[in-house]
Amino acid sequence: MRSRAGRATTAAVLGGLLAAGCGSTDSGAASPAARGGSAGHPVTVTDCAGARTTFTAPPRNIVTSNASSLELLLRLGAGDKVIGTGFPPGKGTLPAELDAQAQRVKVLGETVIPKEKLLGSGADLYIDTFASMNMGGGMGDTPTEEVRAAAIKHIYLKSTACAAMSKRPVTDLSAVEDDILSLGAVTGTRAKAEELVGGMRKKVDAVQRAVGGIPESERPTYFFFDYDAGTKQPMAVCNRQVANAVIGLAGARNVFADCDGDYQQVGWEDVIAKNPDWIQLGVRERGSEAANRKAFDEAEKWLRSNPATRGLKAVEEGHFLRIGSERTTIAGVENADTVERIARTLHPGKVR
């Protein structure tokens, strides 16, 4: 599940008609009564290129492309509208209160949902976490005429789908907040969306008051080690990835912040040249604390035993953070928790 990046940010709007992420807000909409919509509607959102989709009422049957958009809908209280998903979350990978709901959602595809399954799902909305989807094997084309003919509306999570169009690094969580607010508006759960965003802002603002004034040159350097992406050639998170914002907001410097894009394969010689002060052991959720602990142990052991990495400053000093990959690299509510956790570890005297 490689397309998980955080993208170009826009100012989050707590009221009025919401457009997700990279697009603009449709502030000129008439009231629902004047336009014939339900309470809180019509709502218009835009895709990465600015094309508009209008909802005159909340969708009834939603299909999500993967676990990130599914989790957001569950957190919003709109999980009962989800009738299928691709890239399903493994058992135990979502927070306990959401896991049981997630496991009941029908799996339409272990990876990308085949076009035929989406067309026959009965969905009236498809929420796409990827830049685009060719409905049958990749993620490179726009929706087909068949999907439009089936009356399935197609919208995107901008914080994860618009990296290629981003013209600047991701340095805050405003695009994530916009996605939450936009989904809240579309699904009629606006109040819950505002609550979730308010909680995220409270945590991040507290961290910023503590570490925001630290000069860039004095911030510790930080490497996200994506252990599950393979060890032969490391996968760096670049400045269009939401992890770049998470790391920066926590008062650290992403050692690959000079890399334009979301992910990029680098060499261990590049990591050695950066010689990070801290390394996050980026392990994906295994479904249990014991399994996660084993995976973290394996990642740390590899760094300590590999001739190319055992001399790194972070390795010699034991400066490891055991924080799951998903909450760092997939845009969502837990990004704010990760900011808090990294900041507490790196700046214990400032963040409590």
Looking at residue 288, which CATH number applies to its domain?
3.40.50.1980
Query: What pLDDT is recorded for position 25?
Result: 34
For residue range 157-194, what is the model confidence (pLDDT) as tens digits?
A: 888 888 656 788 999 999 999 999 999 999 999 999 99
Q: Which stretches within 80-234 are classed as H helix?
A: 96-104, 115-119, 145-149, 158-161, 174-187, 190-211
Could you tell me where the beta strands, DSSP code E, fall in 227-351? 235-237, 253-254, 263-265, 278-282, 320-321
Indicate whether 161 and 221 sit together in one domain. no
Task: Output the pLDDT for position 149.
Answer: 87
pLDDT band at 323 (very low <50, low <70, confident <90, very high): very high
In a domain, 328, yes or no: yes
| Whether residue 11 has pLDDT greater than 70 | no
Mean pLDDT of the chain: 85
Among candidate residues 292, 204, 288, the one with its CA nearest the CA of residue 242: 204
The pLDDT assigned to 146 comes to: 82
Beta bridge partners of 95: none
Q: Based on the fold, state whether residues 36 and 183 are members of the same structural domain.
A: yes
pLDDT value for 131: 66
Rounded mean pLDDT, 213-225 = 97
Domain region containing 169: 32-188
Is the pLDDT reported for residue 251 higher than 70? yes
In this model, does residue 240 exceed pLDDT 70? Answer: yes
- On whether residue 19 sits in a domain, the answer given is no
Query: Whole-model pTM above 0.75?
Result: yes
Q: What average pLDDT does range 36-43 have in this prediction?
A: 74
Say if residue 44 is in the same domain as residue 178. Answer: yes
In a domain, 51, yes or no: yes
pLDDT tops 60 at residue 17? no
Same-domain status, 39 and 184: yes
- Pair (257, 330) in one structural domain: yes
Mean pLDDT on 127-156 = 69
Domain count, the chain: 2
Q: Is the domain of 59 the same as that of 174?
A: yes
β-partners of residue 321 are: 280
- 225/134: higher pLDDT: 225
